[in-house]
Structure 1
Amino acid sequence: MFFCRSVLLFAFCLLLGACGPAGWPDQHGNQVLAQDLEGKRVVVNYWAQWCGPCRDELPELNRLARDFPQARVIGIDFDGATGEELLAATEQMNIEFAVLGADFAAAKGLAKPEVLPTTYILDEQGEVLHTLRGPQHYQDLAPFLSTTH
């Protein structure tokens, strides 16, 4: 009886993903955990290697990630690269922040954009505050991440 219950509990945990913290691997294989994002403003930026405005805006996002450690900047490759391909793309584009996959976007309810770049600003509860289409600049994004906003 005990064995059957243990097997059922294990199977239930696997199905629900309840046996470990929810997280998403970044381009380096590190886990970004849901609990690490709780209570923080999050900037989620969709980009692609072939997108000129995306390339232009990435230094702005790198600076934002450095200047606002109390927030998180997260990238999502529009083309869905994973593994070594994603790592190579982020290194070529000099991306300094975590780049996650479509499973992160789906978990946050973020639609794949029709325009690149697209940036979502999430509040401390993970809800979308703003959807910004087109290239963004540091001075326009910084106010969303200040503690007084």
Structure 2
Amino acid sequence: MNRGLSGLLGAFACLMLVGCGEDWGADQHGATVTAQQLDGQWLLVNYWAEWCGPCRTEIPELNALDRSRDDITVLGVNFDGLQGDELAAAAKQLNIEFRVLSVDPAERLDLPRSAVLPVTYIVDAAGEVRESLVGEQTAEGLLARLDKLRSEG
């Protein structure tokens, strides 16, 4: 391989690694969600809205799951794109304890826009979306899905 092509490929690889290591933006409290905090974690990315009844019902389940496991991180995303104080107020009103991203990770994770709520995406430790679950979820059901996906490799 010639040196020019080799150098170009090396630069491209560096850019790809830098892109993967980008932070996820701020949460509902204004704190930065860093790539390092989420490295190696299985993620449950949950889209919710204030007007969504099933979303409200599953929030305590997601809170419990996020608190109980060190190897799983629940990340919320407001379907309506609330930002700043509005996002913080909505999360507080719904008693959301897990982190809510102010920047939608749909592009980062190549997620489709769901027509229904709630929807939860399971993302493995390598950053690959493994499954989407539409409708209200329970902590028990999510753990069962995670265990199954982990056993599949």
TM superposition score normalised by structure 2? 0.79
Aligned to 1:33: 34
Aligned to 1:48: 49
Deviation at 1:138, TM superposition (A): 1.1
Aligned residue type for 2:78 = D
- Mapped to 2, the partners of 1:34 and 1:115 lie a distance apart of 28
Structure 1: gaps spanning 5 or more residues: 1-17
- Mapped to 1, the partners of 2:32 and 2:89 lie a distance apart of 18
In 1, are the aligned partners of 2:66 and 2:98 still within 8 Å (CA)?
yes
Give CA deviations for 1:113-143 in whole Å, capped at 9, x if unaligned. Answer: 1110000000011111110000001110123
Q: Which moved more, 1:45-54 or 1:67-76?
A: 67-76
Aligned to 1:74: 75
- The alignment yields a C-alpha RMSD, in angstroms, of 2.0
- Mapped to 2, the partners of 1:127 and 1:78 lie a distance apart of 21
- Mapped to 2, the partners of 1:134 and 1:74 lie a distance apart of 16
Give CA deviations for 1:18-64 in whole Å, capped at 9, x if unaligned. Answer: 6xx62210000111112221211000000000000000000000000
Aligned residue type for 1:60 = E
Aligned to 2:15: none
- Mapped to 1, the partners of 2:49 and 2:107 lie a distance apart of 18
Aligned residue type for 2:118 = P
Structure 2: gaps spanning 5 or more residues: 1-17
Q: Confirm whether residue 93 of structure 1 aligns to residue 94 of structure 2.
A: yes
In 2, are the aligned partners of 1:25 and 1:31 still within 8 Å (CA)?
yes
In 1, are the aligned partners of 2:77 and 2:104 still within 8 Å (CA)?
no
- Mapped to 2, the partners of 1:36 and 1:110 lie a distance apart of 21
Superposed, 1:1-149 pairs within 5 Å as 22-23=22-23, 24-145=25-146, 149=151
Deviation at 1:144, TM superposition (A): 4.2
- Mapped to 1, the partners of 2:88 and 2:102 lie a distance apart of 12
